[in-house]
Structure 1
Amino acid sequence: MQKKLIHGVTSSMSALFIHEQVHFIEQNGYQVEVVCNNDPERHYEGLKLKHIPFEREINLYRDVTTLYSLYRYLKQKDPDIILFSTPKAGLLGMVAGYLNGTETRIYAQWGLRLETVTGVKKLILETTEKLTCLLSTHVLVISDSLEEEMVGRKLVNREKVVRIGKGSVNGLDMQRFSPDAVDQDRLTRMKETLDIEPSDFVIGYIGRMTRDKGTNELVEAFTRLSRKYENIKLLLVGDIEEADPIRPENIDIIHTHERIILCSHTTEPEYYYSMMHVFAFPTYREGFGTVSIEAQAMNVPVVGFNSTGVRDTVVHNETGLIVPNNDIKGLEEGLEDMIIHPVKRGQMGQNARKFVEDNYDREVIQRKVLDFYNTLGRIDDTKAGYIKA
């Protein structure tokens, strides 16, 4: 008899990150459904879905209503395993699963939002995080540093913690993220459109542009470097967000600096990584730095802050550089090191591809996820150390 697994996330966008893993688990003997909020314009890659209206921010009335809907849904489905990710879905999923008596309740921690908030909001997030972990049977973390942060803050007992291999949500498609997979003629045309010359040195970034993502520090470090090096350009791929905004003067610089190239969100990041000589990753915190391993798979070394989730993805002085947190001068110096040492940078790029292949290949990660699920419910049920690398 097939085991039933329900995987819940707050956002429909997050559902797209896990669709390949879901299909792999389905092909190996599980019935899987995904719970998330609804976006009628989004294509869900053939996932079996239940739309429940999770909201990212706290809304007591709606959250209680959502909890009741989720409880009824789990009561009807009677799953063997539930796995809920992201803060709101994680909390409501663990509460509903506990009330429903679901035997295996996995909370997948993808990033600790409370690291960069203060005051009452931080207290609320700490309380809900502790409750979510308490009501789970396993807490699945996606990096070593995230585990240390959670245990160090006394949010979870270490014996509950599980990590799949070296970490990540779903590993990386090594065939897609490969320099050999890029159409060079198309890449040349894209560079011409963006006015990137063969002599240019391109510092790149892909992701949301917010305070927490270190966009202020990146813009200011680049501005300093641009006064010293006339051939450098900053390629920013993503959207400038109003939530957690960057400083207005830096928004102005992004829009007016003649050597900053701003591109909107893309579904083909591999082409933009191929334009970069170094990837800047000055985020204040991550669960795991997916864009970091994407860049490295494309032979691009990374310069990132020594923050949660980032330092797990870069081997300092081998695949990139780790610099002090929130330090504009340190970021500037790390990027300049990449500019003035092309041989070192090239070797780091080669090392980076090998590092990702060895540790984050999606096929390997998915097999380890399946191995973990297959142990659940046995008398010798897995403990934290079982699946760790």
Structure 2
Amino acid sequence: MKKICFITTVPTTLQAFVLGTAKYIHENTDWDITFICDCDEEFEKSLPDYIHYIPVPMKRGVSVAGIKAMLQMKKIFQKEKFDLIQYSTPNASLYASIAGKLAKVPVRLYCQWGMVFVGFQGIKRWIFKQEEKFVCKLSTWIEPDSKSNLEFAHSEGLYPENKGSVIWNGSASGVSLEKFDISKKQEYRQKIRSEYSIPDDAFVYGFVGRITRDKGINELLQAYKSIMNENSYLLMVGNEELDENMNMELFNWSKNNSQVIYTGATNVVEQFLSAMDVYILSSYREGFGSGVIEAEAMGVPVIVSNIPGPTDAMIKDETGLVVQKADVDSLKSAMLEIRNNENMRVCMAEKAYIFARDNFEQKKLYSYILDDRKKLLGE
């Protein structure tokens, strides 16, 4: 029996991107499975009995408390003698890679789901890039969740070309065609539009994710403000994580505009996607962009920025449009084009569903992940 451990900084990452994989592994092997993340009693209660949960205090952002977290992980790894540890998210990856090396864990897998330094400039970018290289060096294998991010990592010299791979077509967890069931699209569309008083014939732009500067929210709000008309809406789904880089004047304008709707986080994202005519991810950096394939699975065309990750999750000019990163004019033009060209939009919607179905179906991805873990473990 193999012992494996999944580590992220906060439980929401495990919940969204790892739990499904862990369940599939349990159903198809006799492996012992452990989760490590920041303390969360509700998360612990929600886990199946066969998943061990070990809380280690961790927070996002720079903190000296990380030293304590790393030492605590080292003790856990030495005691449990895991055959493989898998880590992702910046802080957890730094602590776990150091602790795993010190504890001599044989397989230290870094799931490189995004590189934080990409969103920085100057000395800050250099510092965080060095941290990224350090984590990669301590890891025995690295798996980005998109092919373009693997190519980018190699071009940046983060690790050699013979170290690292992407499973199947990328994505951390694929898309569940049972949850994102396109046959229910019209039902969901009517439900959400009715709930938020959006007319049936209105054109709805949509975003799903953390509402923060790095997701390109400043550009999205600016672009929408410049092209909005009486029959267009902007649906913003996700938690607000505002910082000093957000354009607060623009954000406050949007909060006071009845045609910009903030819903907060949701566990029925498929319903909100169904209410949209186009999904927009104008992010500065992503590992992959799961929301892109989720939108496509619901037959919604997409607009994404030209960065590694999201461009792997769609087909340019077939399932959606690609715009320049951090460029309001480029985004505005794409938003107008897709609103004004119904035939193109309908064609993209059809191709989007087929692309997501054929390339990112969740259970098929899980089978590839299990085969990969067996290979890493020498089975």
Give the conservation status (yes or no) of the 8 Å contact 2:213–2:242.
no
Instruction: State the alpha-carbon separation in 2 of the partners of residues 244 and 290 from structure 1.
Output: 26
Instruction: State the alpha-carbon separation in 2 of the partners of residues 235 and 58 from structure 1.
Output: 32
Q: CA deviation at 1:240?
A: 2.5
Q: Find the counterpart in structure 2 of residue 223 from structure 1.
A: 225
Instruction: State the alpha-carbon separation in 2 of the partners of residues 212 and 265 from structure 1.
Output: 18
Q: Find the counterpart in structure 2 of residue 52 from structure 1.
A: 56
Q: CA deviation at 1:44?
A: 3.5
> Does 2:281 match 1:281?
yes
Q: Find the counterpart in structure 2 of residue 315 from structure 1.
A: 315
Q: Find the counterpart in structure 2 of residue 117 from structure 1.
A: 120
Q: CA deviation at 1:248?
A: 1.2
Q: CA deviation at 1:244?
A: 5.5
Amino acid at match of 1:299: G
Amino acid at match of 2:164: V
- Post-superposition Cα deviations, 1:178-224, rounded to whole Å, max 9, x if no partner, equal 2214582x653432231111120111111111111111111111111
Q: Which runs of structure 2 are paired with 1:158-177 in the superposition (5 Å)?
A: 158-177=161-180
Q: Find the counterpart in structure 1 of residue 10 from structure 2.
A: 11
Q: Find the counterpart in structure 1 of residue 157 from structure 2.
A: 154
Instruction: State the alpha-carbon separation in 1 of the partners of residues 318 and 84 from structure 2.
Output: 40
> Does 2:349 match 1:349?
yes
Q: Which runs of structure 2 are paired with 1:165-314 in the superposition (5 Å)?
A: 165-181=168-184, 184=187, 187-226=189-228, 229-243=229-243, 245-314=245-314
Amino acid at match of 2:293: I
Instruction: State the alpha-carbon separation in 2 of the partners of residues 9 and 159 from structure 1.
Output: 26
Amino acid at match of 2:62: I
Q: CA deviation at 1:57?
A: 2.1
Number of residues of Structure 1 aligned to a counterpart in Structure 2: 374
State which of 71, 88, 91 in structure 1 corresponds to 2:91: 88
Give the conservation status (yes or no) of the 8 Å contact 2:211–2:242.
no
Instruction: State the alpha-carbon separation in 1 of the partners of residues 167 and 42 from structure 2.
Output: 32
Give the conservation status (yes or no) of the 8 Å contact 1:151–1:157.
yes
Amino acid at match of 2:205: I
Instruction: State the alpha-carbon separation in 2 of the partners of residues 124 and 215 from structure 1.
Output: 25
Inter-CA distance 189–374: structure 2 relative to 1 (3 Å threshold): closer
Give the conservation status (yes or no) of the 8 Å contact 2:88–2:112.
yes
> Does 2:376 match 1:373?
no
Amino acid at match of 1:4: K
Q: Find the counterpart in structure 1 of residue 37 from structure 2.
A: 36
Name the stretch that deviates more: 270-279 or 111-120: 111-120
Inter-CA distance 189–293: structure 2 relative to 1 (3 Å threshold): closer
Q: Find the counterpart in structure 1 of residue 110 from structure 2.
A: 107
Name the stretch that deviates more: 254-263 or 264-273: 254-263
Instruction: State the alpha-carbon separation in 2 of the partners of residues 298 and 221 from structure 1.
Output: 25
5+ residue gaps, structure 2:
none
Instruction: State the alpha-carbon separation in 2 of the partners of residues 241 and 121 from structure 1.
Output: 21
Q: CA deviation at 1:361?
A: 0.5
Inter-CA distance 163–69: structure 2 relative to 1 (3 Å threshold): same
Give the conservation status (yes or no) of the 8 Å contact 1:175–1:181.
no
State which of 133, 136, 145 in structure 2 corresponds to 1:133: 136
Q: CA deviation at 1:242?
A: 2.3
Give the SS at the match of 2:312.
coil
Amino acid at match of 1:75: Q
Q: CA deviation at 1:105?
A: 0.9
5+ residue gaps, structure 1:
382-389
Amino acid at match of 1:129: E
Give the SS at the match of 2:315.
coil
Give the SS at the match of 2:135.
helix
Inter-CA distance 214–323: structure 2 relative to 1 (3 Å threshold): same
Which runs of 4 or more aligned residues in structure 1 lie more than 6 Å from their structure 2 counterparts after TM superposition? Answer: none
TM-score by length of 1: 0.92
Instruction: State the alpha-carbon separation in 2 of the partners of residues 120 and 329 from structure 1.
Output: 29
Amino acid at match of 2:11: S
Amino acid at match of 2:63: N
Inter-CA distance 167–189: structure 2 relative to 1 (3 Å threshold): closer
Instruction: State the alpha-carbon separation in 1 of the partners of residues 316 and 81 from structure 2.
Output: 47
Give the conservation status (yes or no) of the 8 Å contact 1:254–1:262.
no
Instruction: State the alpha-carbon separation in 1 of the partners of residues 332 and 124 from structure 2.
Output: 32
Name the stretch that deviates more: 112-121 or 339-348: 112-121
Name the stretch that deviates more: 250-259 or 174-183: 174-183
Q: CA deviation at 1:25?
A: 0.9
Give the SS at the match of 2:111.
strand
- Post-superposition Cα deviations, 1:271-293, rounded to whole Å, max 9, x if no partner, equal 11111111111111100110111
Amino acid at match of 2:169: K
Q: CA deviation at 1:245?
A: 4.2
